[in-house]
A and B are shown apart, each in its own frame.
Chain A
Amino acid sequence: MTTIETHASGSQVHATSSDSALGAFLVGVGAWATTTDHKRIGRLFTGCALLIAIAAAALGAVIGVERISATGYSLLDQDSVTQIFSLYRVGLSFGVMLPLLLGVAIAVVPLQVGAKTVAFARLAMFGFWMWLAGVGLAVGSTIANGGPGGGSEKMVDLFLLGMGIAVIGALAAAVSVVTTVLTNRAPGMTLLRVPMSSWSALTGGVALILTLPVLLGTLVYLYVDHRYARVAFGGNKGISDWMGWSLTQPQTYVYVAMGAGVLAEIAAVVSGKRQVLRPVLLTGIAIVSLAALGGATQVQHGVTWTNTSGSDKVKELIPFLIFNALPLLGVLVVLGVSLLGIAKSKPRLVPAMAPALLGLGMVLTGMVGHLVALFGPAQLAGTVFEEGEFIYVGYGALLIGLAAVSYWGPKLWGRVLPSSAVLGISGLAFLGTVLAALPMYIAGFANQPANVANNFSYSGPQELWNTASAAGHALVAVSVLLFVLTALRAFTAGEVAGDDPWDAQSLEWSVSSPAPSNNFVSTPSVTSAEPLLDIKPAGGQ
């Protein structure tokens, strides 16, 4: 008996069961809306996240244009500036980073661990719809003069309600992913043999489960207070203060943590060999998730080092390093070990490697920036330098998401994205990220204030940096749009993928492309961390 099954045809049966085109369309929509197939749920998450990414990047461009002139171009109403900044941060955090990588995990993890489906598939589906409805409510209410600093009481309430619903949805999906890795692994697959992406889904999922409930509790307090009393949390203006930690570093590292293993996974395939220093890599991925410490405690541990003795400096330095430098160390380990494996081999071309490497590099740049910003003598607090960190981390996660879709696309859709398109679009998105974020780093040193769009005093070349940043955001929006269009075309009418197009190592590549509805006909047996290399002629040697 083998683990091979012919291509899935269940969905096609549904689609053609009705005579009329409209009927077939409605049946198809219904099948997608109520699906318990983890691959479809994952695709819904990632698809929606990519669409929101286009909107978020476009919003970033609008903010950049507004900042070009000190008096503003009046694209934005002065009263709505706080809401626009919040909308951008909410969109990039809860609309892009979190669902993009969570969706990839839902689609890929069961295939990687040898499971027929995700644990509690209906819970994952519930999570998707809750997240979508919550983000929709939060964005819609902010547009209708709600959100942090909003003028409409009911819309502010609706924003808080929407955020709470989105958090519950993300939690439900994360519980489903973590349970899958813990309980649905194939025989012989110990936790040390779990593929890197599934490992990062586990550790990142745990970090989400430990931090998002803290946000949920805060949102409950904020909602009750704003709805009824408005005495404790500062009303609509206080919302940013109380939930702001969930939209900035180090909590954003938690949203990215699920993607930390994507680069390691692809790098091992590029090298064509068994993973070197595997336990070190697993530790590095897990360390990234320790960002949850900073998120759950909601305390920014900075270093002032003014008029303090040597021992006081050390006392400040230790929590600063524990809370902020550990995730950075984790990313460095992941990058270092991944590149070491490639350096010791004859690398092969896997296009997804480019966006994965560039994405994690951008996340690393954001993390380094966060360390610098918390270093008191640098005097960067309250400047756009902090916005630069957020952009690096957010768009870095987006690049990792593009890499994941490119890499696992053949297994999810049965077709391959053109290599040249993947490389070109990731290069554009990388350029856009650097253009959008680096000027903010530079302008931060020149004291351009954060979260202010116009009427600010600033000594630097304001037009230059803010024009570059606006162009960068626009470039990212165009890149993601191009990626979505290319993916739509390639995944519907592109080159048909083989079952193992990348000559890969993990279980998902042992089934047909696209993966059948129940993944595996019979449960595969695993004897190493790279099960496909065990049966391939070269064997990764």
Chain B
Amino acid sequence: MTYALPAGPRPAPRRQLFMSTGIAVAAGTMLMGGMLALWLRFRAAAPTRPSSDGFKLIKDWLPADLKMPEVVTNVGILSFLVMGVMVQWAAYAARRGDSKHVVAALSLTLLFGIAILNAQAAIFVQFNIGVASGTYQSMFYAIVGTLTVLIVSGVVFTVASLFKSIGGRAANTDLLNAHALYWYFLAAAYTAVWFVVFVQK
């Protein structure tokens, strides 16, 4: 026997994309958090030796000939600040149904996203030590490489959002809020890596 339940009203929008992006952001936070935790653990466990004058201890963590491209990393974090404004502009314009502003904001987001990727490439080029030459180097390439992959996925998200907006879905607030959330996560992840890996080293 089959039991017939009464049909309900059409369910209200549940912001499916925003929710799933939030879940993905939680996963991304655990990914970067776990990698940074291992980084800190290895840094703390690096062997120490007395300095030549014997007055202080030197931690053998950084390679002697390391040249950290700090200018590029600082430009990267400033770009993320601007990016935060752009993605929020797109989300705000979507709420107002202003398709021109949505497309303009997403285009600028894409531009800055590509600029950040360019900065990431510059970091790898200017970082003058090979991946195989030590613990620090292999871990540096692993964590910065993972961050770069996440940024690439953000740029792909922006391209998809831009195409959808140009295609007539500029008022899709769920999409653009999710897009903004993902870039905020990327900004937070970049800031954490910038501080721990690029500044504190």
Judge: A and B partners, yes or no: yes
Known: A209-B23, A210-B30. A535 touches B138 (CB 8 A): no
Residues of B within 8 A of A221 (CB): 35, 38, 138-139, 142-143
B4 to A: closest C-beta gap in Å: 4
* B8 & A525 in contact (Cβ 8 Å cutoff): yes
Could you say which of A188, A499, A525 has the most chain B C-beta atoms within 10 Å of its C-beta? A525
* B2 & A525 in contact (Cβ 8 Å cutoff): no
Q: B18-37 interface mask toward A, CB cutoff 8 Å, 1 = contact, 0 = none?
A: 01100110111111111100
A441 vs B16: C-alpha distance in the bound complex, in angstroms? Answer: 47
The reply to whether the CB of B200 lies closer than 8 angstroms to some CB of chain A is no
The reply to whether the CB of B67 lies closer than 8 angstroms to some CB of chain A is no
Tell me how many residue pairs across A and B have CB atoms closer than 8 Å.
152
Q: Which residue of B lies closest to A232 (CB)?
A: B135
A120 vs B137: C-alpha distance in the bound complex, in angstroms? Answer: 38
Q: Which of A176, A228, A525 contacts B6 (CB 8 A)?
A: A525
Q: Which of A178, A186, A231 contacts B23 (CB 8 A)?
A: A178
The reply to whether the CB of A86 lies closer than 8 angstroms to some CB of chain B is no
* A500 & B26 in contact (Cβ 8 Å cutoff): no
Q: Which of B20, B27, B32, B42 contacts A232 (CB 8 A)?
A: B42
Main secondary structure of the interface of B (DSSP, over half): helix
* A510 & B34 in contact (Cβ 8 Å cutoff): no
Q: Which of B8, B34, B132 contacts A213 (CB 8 A)?
A: B34
The reply to whether the CB of B125 lies closer than 8 angstroms to some CB of chain A is no
Known: A232-B42, A500-B1. A175 touches B31 (CB 8 A): no
The reply to whether the CB of A220 lies closer than 8 angstroms to some CB of chain B is yes
Residues of B within 8 A of A232 (CB): 42, 135, 138-139
Residues of A within 8 A of B27 (CB): 171, 175, 209-210, 212-213
* A499 & B4 in contact (Cβ 8 Å cutoff): no
The reply to whether the CB of B52 lies closer than 8 angstroms to some CB of chain A is no
* A532 & B3 in contact (Cβ 8 Å cutoff): yes
Known: A231-B135, A500-B3. A217 touches B9 (CB 8 A): no
A526 vs B3: C-alpha distance in the bound complex, in angstroms? Answer: 13
The reply to whether the CB of A229 lies closer than 8 angstroms to some CB of chain B is yes
Residues of B within 8 A of A186 (CB): 8, 11
Residues of A within 8 A of B71 (CB): none
Q: A199-223 interface mask toward B, CB cutoff 8 Å, 1 = contact, 0 = none?
A: 0000000000111111011101101
Q: Which of B20, B24, B30, B145 contacts A211 (CB 8 A)?
A: B30
The reply to whether the CB of B5 lies closer than 8 angstroms to some CB of chain A is yes
* A1 & B7 in contact (Cβ 8 Å cutoff): yes
Known: A217-B146, A523-B10. A3 touches B141 (CB 8 A): no
The reply to whether the CB of A196 lies closer than 8 angstroms to some CB of chain B is no
Size category of the binding interface on chain B: 35 or more
The reply to whether the CB of A531 lies closer than 8 angstroms to some CB of chain B is yes
The reply to whether the CB of A400 lies closer than 8 angstroms to some CB of chain B is no
Q: Which residue of A lies closest to B4 (CB)?
A: A2
* B3 & A535 in contact (Cβ 8 Å cutoff): yes
* A2 & B135 in contact (Cβ 8 Å cutoff): no
Q: Which of A3, A188, A223, A499 contacts B1 (CB 8 A)?
A: A499
Q: Which residue of B lies closest to A208 (CB)?
A: B27
Could you say which of B1, B8, B9, B134 has the most chain A C-beta atoms within 10 Å of its C-beta? B8
The reply to whether the CB of B15 lies closer than 8 angstroms to some CB of chain A is yes
A522 vs B131: C-alpha distance in the bound complex, in angstroms? Answer: 57
The reply to whether the CB of A498 lies closer than 8 angstroms to some CB of chain B is yes
Known: A218-B34, A296-B30. A522 touches B23 (CB 8 A): no
Residues of A within 8 A of B34 (CB): 213-214, 217-218, 296
* B23 & A187 in contact (Cβ 8 Å cutoff): no
A185 vs B12: C-alpha distance in the bound complex, in angstroms? Answer: 10
Residues of A within 8 A of B2 (CB): 4, 499-500, 510-512
The reply to whether the CB of B49 lies closer than 8 angstroms to some CB of chain A is no
* A523 & B30 in contact (Cβ 8 Å cutoff): no
Which residues of A181-205 are within 8 A (CB) of B? 182-188
Q: Which residue of B lies closest to A513 (CB)?
A: B2
Residues of A within 8 A of B134 (CB): 229, 231
Q: Which of A184, A231, A510 contacts B5 (CB 8 A)?
A: A510
B130 to A: closest C-beta gap in Å: 8
Q: Which of B20, B138, B139 contacts A119 (CB 8 A)?
A: B20
* B138 & A228 in contact (Cβ 8 Å cutoff): yes
Known: A211-B30, A213-B34. A525 touches B145 (CB 8 A): no
The reply to whether the CB of B51 lies closer than 8 angstroms to some CB of chain A is no
Residues of B within 8 A of A500 (CB): 1-3
Known: A179-B16, A184-B16. A3 touches B38 (CB 8 A): no
The reply to whether the CB of A224 lies closer than 8 angstroms to some CB of chain B is yes
* B5 & A229 in contact (Cβ 8 Å cutoff): no
Q: Which residue of A lies closest to B149 (CB)?
A: A220
* B11 & A175 in contact (Cβ 8 Å cutoff): no
Known: A175-B24, A218-B38, A232-B42. A524 touches B6 (CB 8 A): yes
Residues of B within 8 A of A187 (CB): 8-9, 11
* B4 & A510 in contact (Cβ 8 Å cutoff): yes
The reply to whether the CB of A507 lies closer than 8 angstroms to some CB of chain B is yes
Known: A225-B138, A232-B42, A232-B138. A220 touches B35 (CB 8 A): yes
* B20 & A120 in contact (Cβ 8 Å cutoff): yes
Known: A171-B27, A175-B20, A231-B138. A2 touches B7 (CB 8 A): yes
Residues of A within 8 A of B35 (CB): 217, 220-221
Q: Which residue of A lies closest to B8 (CB)?
A: A525
* A2 & B142 in contact (Cβ 8 Å cutoff): no
* B23 & A183 in contact (Cβ 8 Å cutoff): no
Known: A186-B11, A221-B139. A535 touches B5 (CB 8 A): yes
Residues of B within 8 A of A214 (CB): 30-31, 33-34
Q: Which residue of B lies closest to A120 (CB)?
A: B20
* A525 & B5 in contact (Cβ 8 Å cutoff): yes
The reply to whether the CB of A536 lies closer than 8 angstroms to some CB of chain B is yes
* B38 & A179 in contact (Cβ 8 Å cutoff): no
**Residues in chain A within 8 A of chain B (CB atoms):** 1-4, 119-120, 171, 175-176, 178-179, 182-188, 209-214, 216-218, 220-221, 223-225, 228-229, 231-232, 296, 498-500, 507, 509-512, 522-526, 531-532, 535-536
**Can you list the 9 inter-chain pairs with the closest CB atoms, starting with the nearest?**
A525-B8, A214-B34, A2-B4, A183-B14, A213-B31, A187-B8, A217-B35, A232-B135, A522-B7
Known: A182-B19, A511-B2, A523-B9. 15 other contacts (CB 8 A): A4-B4, A175-B20, A182-B14, A213-B31, A213-B34, A218-B34, A220-B145, A225-B142, A229-B132, A229-B137, A500-B3, A524-B7, A535-B3, A535-B4, A535-B5
Please, could you name 12 A-B residue pairs with CB atoms under 8 Å apart, sorted by A? Answer: A186-B8, A187-B11, A224-B141, A229-B138, A231-B134, A232-B139, A509-B3, A522-B7, A525-B6, A531-B5, A535-B3, A536-B3
